[in-house]
Amino acid sequence: MSTAAIPSNELVRFGKFFLDELKPRGKWITPFNVISIPVILLGLVILYFRFTQGLGSVTNLSQQYPFGFWIGFDVMTGVALAGGAYVLCFVVYVLRLEKYHSILKVTILNGLLAYVFYSGALVLDLGRPWHIINPIIGNSFGYNSVLFLVAWHFLLYTGALFLEFSPTIAEWAHWEKLRKFLTSLTLGTVIVGITLSMLHQSGIGAMFLMAKPKIHPLWYSEYIPLLYFVSSIFGGLAMVIFEGTISSKVFSNLIGAKTHHSHEDVILGLGKGAAITMFVYYFFLAFIFMHGEKWKLLNGPWGYWYLVEVIGFVLIPCFMFAYGVRNRRFGVIRVAAIMTVLGVILNRQNVCLIAYNWYVPNKYYPSWEEIVVTLTVVFVEVWVFRWVVTRMSVFSKE
């Protein structure tokens, strides 16, 4: 409907407007630019070698470790931490808790960019990325594959996030009619989006169900899908707190006074939500542990490492959230949020890389090239984020 309704001179106007908006604003020499530009350039050079000489030329992937840092960190962790978008959509549109409306747009934008860049980083890892259309165009549907589900839900959910964010784009481009139409789609998109999220967040966990003999029994259980889903809720909430803390400092000039003021209240609410879901998650872990009679496994380095994750990065931040919310200690909440984010990262690395093939003598460590490319993906995402928030009304101006 959009192109048909817009006359050609409108397209010309938008073209000029877009080119104008593309121009950089503000200072060029900032600490972030100085660090990120060389890293991005180096990342592009590495990617050139990756696509001409194979994955082995830049990564430490092996026959024992087919999934490395790009999958384990970029895709699996990136998607889990982008869970804030569907959680907040649920809170604002389904539960109608208006208090959180002020941070909704920026959370959806974060989610959208995370899906585009982090699940997009999958393309870098695929051996034959030009065949990525095969599961989409339908010449070979692997219906019985969990990955088929995950791939489709990634794609559809990225589309849903784009639709959820699209009214802001229409507003920026001064397409008022289109904006009204897109806004009217929001509730439907949100409901579809939450459903898609539930399925692909748990689907990423379900990918490891068939790796039963390879994952250390402390990390393997038939409930991995449930654990992945629940951890994406509090991981997403912690990420919203973490990002909100940074944004409110870096982009303070873009945020309205009222929003700035109510931000404390929002953080208390998010912290409370995180504390509750983390406790539920801890309960699930304990239940799985008891039910599987895994006491004996706790003896030895793998058992201690498991306790570090479960006590140090789930239970302790859970109590810190609860304490921080009760006593309005924002510093405690922020530290808890960072620990929670680290905990989700740790959990995904454990399942995917560290406790995967735990009995193999040659363990996998990411190469420096893999880390540089990951940083490249993160930095490019931050660049796009910065470009969008300085041009569109993402932050609440009230």
Partner 1 sequence: MDRRQFLVASATLSVGGIPNVNIKADDAKEPREFVGVLVDTTRCIGCRSCEVACSETHSNYVPDITSDNALESIRDTSERQFTVVNRFSTEKGEVFVKKQCLHCWQPACAAACLVNAMLKTKEGPVTWDGDKCMGCRFCMISCPFDIPKFEYASWNPRIMKCNMCYERLQEGKKPACVESCPADALMFGQKRELMEIARHRVYSHPDNYVHHIYGENEAGGSGWLYLSAVPFNQIGFRTDLGTTPYPEYTREFLISIPLIEFGVPAFLLALNTLTDRKDELRKDDEWTESGVEK
Contacting residues toward partner 1, per CB under 8 A: 51-57, 59, 61-64, 66-67, 90, 93-96, 122, 125-129, 131-132, 134-135, 139-142, 144-149, 151, 187, 191-192, 194-195, 198-199, 202-203, 206-214, 222, 225
CB atoms within 10 A of CB 16: 10
**Least distance CB 63 / partner 1 (angstroms):** 5
Phi, then psi, of 256 in degrees rounded to 5:
-70, 160
Comparing CB distances to partner 1, the nearer of 213 and 331 is 213
Alpha-carbon distance of 312 to 310, in angstroms, equals: 6
**Least distance CB 188 / partner 1 (angstroms):** 9
> Cα dihedral angle (166, 168, 171, 177), rounded to 10 degrees?
40
Alpha-carbon distance of 350 to 21, in angstroms, equals: 43
Cα 14–15–17 angle (5° rounding)?
A: 60
Comparing CB distances to partner 1, the nearer of 33 and 62 is 62
Comparing CB distances to partner 1, the nearer of 133 and 307 is 133
Strand, helix or coil for residue 356 = strand
Q: Which residue has the tokens 């397409």?
A: 175
Phi, then psi, of 215 in degrees rounded to 5:
-95, 135
Strand ranges (DSSP E) for 238-328? none
Do 344 and 235 meet the contact criterion of CB atoms below 8 Å apart?
Answer: yes
Comparing CB distances to partner 1, the nearer of 189 and 277 is 189
Comparing CB distances to partner 1, the nearer of 135 and 159 is 135
Comparing CB distances to partner 1, the nearer of 175 and 219 is 219
**Least distance CB 128 / partner 1 (angstroms):** 4
> For 215, left (φ over 0), alpha (ψ -120 to 50), or beta?
beta
**Least distance CB 60 / partner 1 (angstroms):** 10
Comparing CB distances to partner 1, the nearer of 131 and 391 is 131
**Least distance CB 193 / partner 1 (angstroms):** 10
Comparing CB distances to partner 1, the nearer of 90 and 302 is 90
Name the amino acid, one letter, at 98.
E
Phi, then psi, of 362 in degrees rounded to 5:
-90, 95
H-helix or E-strand containing 70?
Answer: none
**Least distance CB 80 / partner 1 (angstroms):** 17
**Least distance CB 239 / partner 1 (angstroms):** 22
**Least distance CB 147 / partner 1 (angstroms):** 4
Comparing CB distances to partner 1, the nearer of 57 and 327 is 57
Closest alpha carbon to 161 in 104, 121, 199, 202: 104
**Least distance CB 278 / partner 1 (angstroms):** 22
**Least distance CB 40 / partner 1 (angstroms):** 22
Closest alpha carbon to 309 in 276, 264, 342, 278: 342
Tokens for 114, please give them.
Answer: 């995370």
The partner residues of 356 in beta bridges, in order of sequence, read: 215
Alpha-carbon distance of 257 to 247, in angstroms, equals: 14
Comparing CB distances to partner 1, the nearer of 71 and 392 is 71
H-helix or E-strand containing 22?
Answer: helix 8-22
Alpha-carbon distance of 147 to 139, in angstroms, equals: 16
Tokens for 135, please give them.
Answer: 């599961």
